[in-house]
């Protein structure tokens, strides 16, 4: 294995009481958006919320995470699967990349099947931009069901 990759995770404030179980499980198992680290050692150096719309904590949290060594920021799956999905997610992505010069990844844990089914019914992710956003968290149905 090469050098350790340090990451930060930003979750939606709607889920501020979330203990991170699905995110940390998928990090440990290298599932969902963490599959990209299959052969690497990774360490989470930050986990916090956006602080609610319109994301007042994005700038401050990422500043702290990068000072703790984060080289990749994951915008948690909750920002993608919420009802409605985060209206600021692409702005957060672009802002963090441009301000900090680090990689930003959409998603953490795999999209649970129940969310995929509902968003398909709603047509939430029909736009090409959303197809790209959900791609890192799409996995096979068996794994999606295990995250329901």
C-alpha count within 13 angstroms, C-beta hemisphere, residue 68: 17
Which pLDDT score, from 0 to 100, does residue 2 have? Answer: 67
pLDDT tens per residue across all 148 residues of the chain: 568 999 999 999 999 999 999 999 999 999 999 999 999 999 999 999 999 999 999 999 999 999 999 999 999 999 999 999 999 999 999 999 999 999 999 999 999 999 999 999 999 999 999 999 999 999 999 999 999 9
Domain boundaries, the chain: 5-146
Which pLDDT score, from 0 to 100, does residue 1 have? Answer: 55
Q: Which residues pair with 43 in a beta bridge?
A: 6
What topology does CATH give the domain 5-146? Rossmann fold (3.40.50)
Q: What is the dihedral of CA 82, 68, 7, 14, to 10 degrees?
A: -10
| Percent helix, strand and coil across the chain, each to the nearest 5 | 50, 15, 35
């Amino acid at each position: 294995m090469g050098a350790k990759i340090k990451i930060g995770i930003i979750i939606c404030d709607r889920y501020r009481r979330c203990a991170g179980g699905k995110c940390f499980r998928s990090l440990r198992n290298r599932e969902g958006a963490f599959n990209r680290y299959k052969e690497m050692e990774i360490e989470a150096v930050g986990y916090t919320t956006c602080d609610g719309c319109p994301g007042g904590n994005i700038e401050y949290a990422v500043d702290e995470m990068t000072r703790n060594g984060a080289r990749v920021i994951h915008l948690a799956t909750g920002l993608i699967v919420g009802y409605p999905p985060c209206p600021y997610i692409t702005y957060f992505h672009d802002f963090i990349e441009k301000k900090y010069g680090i990689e930003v990844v959409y998603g953490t844990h795999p999209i649970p099947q129940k969310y995929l089914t509902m968003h398909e019914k709603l047509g939430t992710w029909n736009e090409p931009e959303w197809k790209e956003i959900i791609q890192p968290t799409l996995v096979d149905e068996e794994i999606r069901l295990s995250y329901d």
